[in-house]
Structure 1
């Protein structure tokens, strides 16, 4: 009975839903912008290879929180800083490319 009742009533779509769909169709990005740029993520990874730099100090330098660093550099959640070390031998460098 409810299905029949709903089928007869016109749907009212909020204007914002229509606007969002149009924006997506144009290829615009919706929502909050990312907290870190690709360049900041690369810088964080480079700095994390140095044993004297901590996640807190890098976060402070980049103007983000520690949790943001952990979000954008997921290798850190393994518990080892070795996960973000830069390859040192020629073979490792060639394998990484």
Structure 2
């Protein structure tokens, strides 16, 4: 069975899902199998997506108009699709840069494997820059203090480092000058932004 998900960024009625809906219906998704959200893609709280993912069953395929309708970022997208794959469900993208993705086919699986590799490569590069930046700061005599304030820059560095097995959380907090409580209030142990982190990232 095909299940469709639609999203527009504004909840004030100035944007419509009509274009996405027409494309999903033309692709064979039934009207009763359409889910939608009116929210920014960066938000964690997307009840339509949560309901859509819950409705998917083994053998189903999730259909989206464009790739950016689904994922908050590349890492979130890769994680979501891995979860779908583990449940025996597929993903099909109808248009845009991700239109070659159809994880129910070997070619589509290959394309998504490349996306996954790029996501890991991006995280590794950011982590390397973080470590190099911290080492440079130490060499100049700047050490992590105790102002328990998370900044957008610290947020990006922490998100890149969290979730990697080699990351020592205590050392990371000391280098960034934040407490563990501050860190986990903004970022999950796997590096996903929590509500406070999402708000800070939009500043």
- Please state which band the TM-score falls in when normalised by the shorter chain: 0.3 to 0.5
- Name the one with the larger strand percent: 2
The higher radius of gyration belongs to 1
Which structure exhibits the higher relative contact order, with contacts defined as CA atoms closer than 8 Å and separated by 6 or more residues? Answer: 1
- Name the one with the larger helix percent: 1
Normalised by the length of structure 1, the TM-score is 0.40
